[in-house]
Amino acid sequence: MTARILVVDDEKDLVDLISYNLEKEGFETLKAYNGESALRLVQSQKPDLVILDLMLPGIQGMEVCKLIRKNPDISSLPIIMVTAKNDEFDKILGLEMGADDYITKPFSVRELLARVRAVLRRFQTAKEQEQKETFGFKGLLIDFASHIVSIDGINVDLSPTEFRILSFLTKRPGRVYTRDQILDNVWGNDAFVEQRTVDVHIKRLRSQLEKDASNPRYILTVRGVGYKFSDIV
């Protein structure tokens, strides 16, 4: 099936340009120029992905993203956040609100199309992964039911927390998570744990999983943002 993409921006010319190029690549498109319209279309048209500008009249992009993530009927909808600010804070905040990826204006159509395909591919992989009891990638094998992890057929002894971190990251390969998101999903919202704890556990995981921890294949650092499991192509 052809993916349906909702493009949300208050710049009509930009929405038209993005939509034109998406349609050239075989996607269906929907258009919205403010947050209210975007939320209505998400509910009524059920798009497969949203390209969402950060700065919108009325309901801002961050709030739109937050409302989508709070609604169980649409909470898993992939979102690419667009911002005119090349600011690390905005990138982190967008991810914290639940965006799957971000792109900074000005951007090339080619880059946007690549990100759209990557996010859709990751979303499909995540859906398939949820139905599986095992995960495999480049010699790494995880059995979620038995909590067994192996590299090239040799079992790796991970702590329960390390296993939970690895399981969480592999549920959506390529998706970047901030340290706070990892803390919330692995330790829980009630646990008082410092962000530095995430770095310590990631370092130990790499020492267990990687042949060269300084050049990891599995858990990758996204500078200034957080961590992700390697993209699966």
Mean pLDDT, residues 72-99: 81
CA distances from 125 to 119, 174, 175 (A): 10, 10, 11
pLDDT-based confidence at residue 172 (cuts at 50, 70, 90): confident
Determine phi and psi for 186, rounding to 5 degrees: -100, -45
The Cα 210–Cα 76 span in angstroms is 31
Tens digits of residue pLDDT in 15-62:
999 999 999 999 999 999 999 999 999 999 999 999 999 889 889 999
The answer to whether 177 and 101 are in contact (CB under 8 A) is no
Residue scoring higher pLDDT (98 or 32): 32
User: What residues does each domain of the chain span?
Assistant: 4-128, 132-229
pLDDT in tens, 109-158: 999 999 999 889 888 876 766 667 889 999 999 998 888 999 999 999 88
CATH number of 4-128: 3.40.50.2300
Q: Would you give the DSSP letter of residue 214? A: T
Angle at which helix 35-45 crosses helix 61-70, to 10 degrees, equals 30
In this structure, what token pair is assigned to residue 173? 């390969």
Residues 47, 51, 54: CA angle, nearest 5 degrees:
135
Cα–Cα distance, 75 to 68 (Å, whole number): 5
Spatial contact of 181 and 165, defined as CB atoms under 8 Å apart: no
Fold held by 132-229: Arc Repressor Mutant, subunit A (1.10.10)
pLDDT of residue 31: 97
Over the chain, what is the mean pLDDT?
88
